[in-house]
Structure 1
Amino acid sequence: MEKQKRLGTENIGKLLMEFSLPAIIGMLINILYNIVDRIFIGKGVGAIAISAVGLTLPFTTIIMAFGMLAGIGGSALISIRLGERKHDEAEKILGNTFILLSIISILVTIVGIGFLDPLLRLFGASDVTFDYAKDYIFIILAGAVFNAVGFGLNASIRSDGSPKTAMITNLIGAITNIILDYVFIMKMNMGIKGAAIATVIGQSFNTIWVLRYFMFSGSSSMKLKVKNMKMDINIVKGIFAIGMSPFLIQIAASVVNVLANNTLKANGGDYAIGAMSILISIAMIFLMPVFGITQGAQPIIGYNYGAVKMDRVKKCLILAISAASTLCITGFIFIEFFPNLMISIFSKDENILRIGTHGLKIFLCMLPVIGFQIVTSNFFQAIGKAKISIVLSLSRQVLILIPMLILLPKFFGLKGVWMAYPISDFSSSLITLVFLIKELKVMSTREKNEENININELVKI
């Protein structure tokens, strides 16, 4: 329990660094092997294969969505319960999280493979990209359980106070994937299937490592026990209530991907879809560290919110926003000066270079404000206010972006697709700021009420 107690006593800056740095490294490693996937596919298979991988993004986003529904929801609830000193209940949440991740991911595999062909057509696959996309995503779907369980339970490792162990989880999967990418694609000429097999094997190693931590490791304060795997409807409701925000974000992202792919196909063809796949990879280079900061901040915020230490909650939030904004501003400067260089890392194809270089500078022109929006949205999730988190997250992915993707291409063609994203980023950040100001006032009131209760108890004594 000492690992959790220090979340409420040690220096916030030190804790945020300790928890975020491993998460940032893990996230960078995570995006690294996604980037390496695309580099190997681009160099070893071709530009059209990159477009095919871009078409499968809605599938992988949906798998991630269900991993977040149970995994992030469970880990946030665990942090709050540990802050309330309810260790046994935290273990029950862990057991329920594992079962939910397993059941849901198996269902995703069955449904995804069962409707694979029509879904690929719906997602924008052409006769040129269809076979590549099907070969790749069939294997990814078959291994969805490893993706969901490994990712979902890794968030609970951070809640248990072991951020370095969580980082190692990502390292194991990434290094395995990168090595196997080279072997399968470049040496064994397995093409796009090789990339998918490498990914699934890397994810399976992640899962084995995470299960080892919670079942056999002496360093874990919580244990994954069979008796806690019996589903408790109240715990499931609590997990889903908090996890619904990141789940809907990812589902919305999947809907956006489908809409964007079809719009790109209509306005720029298969090469425009390939360029978008690369732009998303470049965006993730700078946004993954931001997600790492939010993951590092989540257990600190959740624990102190549960313990009614609002000054520590606010300090952690401010530090997290400052760090995320600094990273995003740095990324913005780099993108504005070296767009062509970044695109050429993935592909030397003239069509990809031409479309991608023009699109990148527009697509991420509002990058400096995205860090604030992501951190603050996740802040509401960390304190258990799922409805607000959902509204803020969906404002960027659905309420603003989808209408922009429908309207702007009618007037500006392919440029309109790129323009939709920064307009959404800026607008949603303004909405997020309004909600944050209101919540800070509520927290101040709660803290004063808690102080008055403590004073009254002392007077009685």
Structure 2
Amino acid sequence: MEKTEMITGSLSKIFVHYVSLNVLSMIGLSCYILADTVFVAGGVGNSGLAALNLVLPAYSFINGAGLMLGMGGATRYAVLRGEGRDTAADGVFTMTLAMGAALGCLLTLIGIFFTPALAGLLGAEGETLSLSVQYLRTILLFSCAFIVNNILVCFIRNDGSPQLSMAAMLAGSFSNIVLDYSFIFPMGLGMFGAALATGLAPVFSILVLSLHFLRRRNHFRPAACTPQRRIVREILTTGLPSFVTEFSSGVIILLFNFTILRLTGTTGVAAYGVISNIALIAVAVFTGIAQGIQPIVSVNYGAGRTGRVWRTYAAALLLGAVLGLLFLALGLLEADGIVGIFNWEGNVEMDRIASSGIHLYFLAFLFMGANIVTTSLFASINRPGPSFAVSILRGLAAVVIFLLILPPALGMDGVWLTIPAAELTTLFVSGILLYRAKGLKSEKIH
């Protein structure tokens, strides 16, 4: 879709086109870990499920780093193209790709030399330690693939090919599901097989994304440029909210794991693994909405069409609210059925803890969509400050505060209510920041 159509075409048609494709793409991305969870529960058992949940923060960091560079670089790229500065946009792509490759190599080295120590820091011990090391080392060795894939997905989506981005993410997801089953059951590779399937998924996705270049549909390309601190800073600050949104979920999983270990032990961690992985699907849907509106908002903002910016944002809020209600209804009505998908061992205690948790935790979905969409709005209109504030509040600060207050007073119910309380608090702060931004005007990037 050309930028002129993005600025002057039917907004409802463009909204449905971009948001639907990005929601499907993000659901595909979330299935990387969800497939691991289902198959690990069946092939390794609850100890494997607990180990997987303990190392999820590392995966969240890798994926968050890729999203930070991808969303940051692609947002700057879209705004620059909206202003007609295509040469500068090519420079942003080149520097983003170089930063991603450098970070991926660093994480690969960490995977080679420091995996056991890192798994221990994440809380793994005893039987879960060896299982965690197998999974973590393999994932870290594929760091470059994860990061480069996220960068290309974001840039190609902003280059008018959201269909290809969606196809790539779904190809990666489906390959992960097939390989998960093959590696864990027929081949008996256990945790290593689950990690290998997840690591190969972005490789398949990149192969699909390469069609954008082979068909010569790309408007961006690597260009000779000198690294500039200002551009690096702009990419990182613009993409930082995306990193905070993704990585903070990993940090929160880590904090929840430590809290739950004290309250209910490994069984509680396995139960939380079920809830956190189901929540990944809801977060993926809301993130898909947020990423779907990003090109629309950025290009129209760069062109000075702020009315279309606000209409796009309002539509995203409404969609997020409706889907949030549907997720909550599903949790209230089908909690036992959801837990049964993962509880292959028939552990009664895990079933009780997880089902009770779903009823309370899913309240967060009423507010989560609005917060994630608002974060994307601020980032897309060159307001990294408010975007970061919303991200850090909902993703870390408010969660830590409520995690310190609620579990000591309410036990496991307090654990499950922590996220809903944090999202509701963030919603009030988002409203204040939005009120202050009502008179936004397009600002040129120098």
- 1:330 Cα deviation after fit: 0.8
Residue 94 of structure 1 aligns with an amino acid whose one-letter code is: F
Partner of 1:328: 324
State how far apart, in whole Å, the 2-side matches of 1:252 and 1:280 are: 13
Partner of 1:249: 245
Query: Quick one: which of 357, 360, 363 aligns to 2:358?
Result: 360
- 1:247 Cα deviation after fit: 2.1
Query: Quick one: which of 274, 280, 287 aligns to 1:284?
Result: 280
2:25 equivalent to 1:20? no
Partner of 1:109: 108
Partner of 1:273: 269
- 1:374 Cα deviation after fit: 0.8
- 1:419 Cα deviation after fit: 1.6
State how far apart, in whole Å, the 1-side matches of 2:169 and 2:23 are: 10
- 1:226 Cα deviation after fit: 5.2
Q: Deviations over 1:281-319 (max 9, x none)?
A: 211222312211111100000001111101100110001
Is the 8 Å Cα contact of residues 39 and 345 (structure 1) preserved in structure 2? yes
Is the 8 Å Cα contact of residues 409 and 417 (structure 1) preserved in structure 2? yes
Is the 8 Å Cα contact of residues 122 and 258 (structure 1) preserved in structure 2? no
Is the 8 Å Cα contact of residues 25 and 167 (structure 2) preserved in structure 1? yes
* Aligned 1:206-225 pairs, distance under 5 A: 206-214=205-213, 216-223=214-221, 225=222
Partner of 2:28: 29
Query: Quick one: which of 337, 341, 344 aligns to 1:345?
Result: 341
Q: Deviations over 1:183-234 (max 9, x none)?
A: 11111111111111111111112223334524x33222222x2525x53333
2:446 equivalent to 1:425? no
Unaligned 5+ segments in structure 2 are none
Is the 8 Å Cα contact of residues 54 and 257 (structure 2) preserved in structure 1? yes
State how far apart, in whole Å, the 1-side matches of 2:185 and 2:80 are: 48
State how far apart, in whole Å, the 2-side matches of 1:109 and 1:264 are: 30
State how far apart, in whole Å, the 1-side matches of 2:112 and 2:266 are: 24
State how far apart, in whole Å, the 2-side matches of 1:166 and 1:403 are: 37
2:307 equivalent to 1:308? no
Residue 39 of structure 1 aligns with an amino acid whose one-letter code is: V
Q: Give the TM-score, by structure 2 length.
A: 0.95
- 1:113 Cα deviation after fit: 4.3
Residue 141 of structure 1 aligns with an amino acid whose one-letter code is: L
Is the 8 Å Cα contact of residues 71 and 243 (structure 1) preserved in structure 2? yes
* Aligned 1:149-188 pairs, distance under 5 A: 149-188=148-187
- 1:116 Cα deviation after fit: 2.3
Q: Give the TM-score, by structure 1 length.
A: 0.92
Q: Deviations over 1:57-95 (max 9, x none)?
A: 110011112112211100111111111111111111111
Is the 8 Å Cα contact of residues 81 and 89 (structure 1) preserved in structure 2? yes
Query: Quick one: which of 230, 242, 245 aligns to 1:234?
Result: 230
Residue 10 of structure 1 aligns with an amino acid whose one-letter code is: G
State the secondary structure of the residue aligned to 1:183: helix
Q: Deviations over 1:320-378 (max 9, x none)?
A: 11111111111111111111111111123323211111111111213111111110111
State how far apart, in whole Å, the 1-side matches of 2:270 and 2:105 are: 29
Query: Quick one: which of 388, 391, 407 aligns to 1:390?
Result: 388
State how far apart, in whole Å, the 2-side matches of 1:413 and 1:122 are: 24
State how far apart, in whole Å, the 1-side matches of 2:145 and 2:90 are: 21
Is the 8 Å Cα contact of residues 119 and 136 (structure 2) preserved in structure 1? no
Is the 8 Å Cα contact of residues 152 and 209 (structure 2) preserved in structure 1? yes
Is the 8 Å Cα contact of residues 150 and 207 (structure 1) preserved in structure 2? yes
2:122 equivalent to 1:126? no
2:262 equivalent to 1:263? no
Residue 306 of structure 2 aligns with an amino acid whose one-letter code is: M
State the secondary structure of the residue aligned to 1:431: helix
Residue 231 of structure 2 aligns with an amino acid whose one-letter code is: I
State how far apart, in whole Å, the 2-side matches of 1:100 and 1:30 are: 22
State how far apart, in whole Å, the 2-side matches of 1:41 and 1:55 are: 13
Q: Deviations over 1:6-43 (max 9, x none)?
A: 11011111101111111111122222343222111111
Residue 224 of structure 2 aligns with an amino acid whose one-letter code is: K
State how far apart, in whole Å, the 2-side matches of 1:124 and 1:418 are: 20
- After alignment, is 24-33 or 307-316 more displaced? 24-33
Residue 70 of structure 1 aligns with an amino acid whose one-letter code is: L
Residue 154 of structure 1 aligns with an amino acid whose one-letter code is: V
Partner of 2:93: 94
State the secondary structure of the residue aligned to 2:227: coil
Partner of 1:381: 379
**CA pair 240-153 structure 1, distance change in 2 beyond 3 A:** same
State how far apart, in whole Å, the 1-side matches of 2:386 and 2:113 are: 35
- 1:410 Cα deviation after fit: 1.8
Partner of 1:455: none
Is the 8 Å Cα contact of residues 91 and 223 (structure 2) preserved in structure 1? no
Return structure 1 stretches of 4+ with deviation > 4 angstroms. Answer: none
State the secondary structure of the residue aligned to 2:363: coil
State the secondary structure of the residue aligned to 1:250: helix
Is the 8 Å Cα contact of residues 244 and 395 (structure 2) preserved in structure 1? no
Is the 8 Å Cα contact of residues 369 and 429 (structure 1) preserved in structure 2? yes
Residue 98 of structure 2 aligns with an amino acid whose one-letter code is: I
**CA pair 31-245 structure 1, distance change in 2 beyond 3 A:** closer
State how far apart, in whole Å, the 2-side matches of 1:361 and 1:169 are: 34
- 1:174 Cα deviation after fit: 1.1
RMSD: 1.8
2:311 equivalent to 1:319? no
Is the 8 Å Cα contact of residues 22 and 291 (structure 2) preserved in structure 1? yes
**CA pair 16-301 structure 1, distance change in 2 beyond 3 A:** same
Give the aligned length.
442
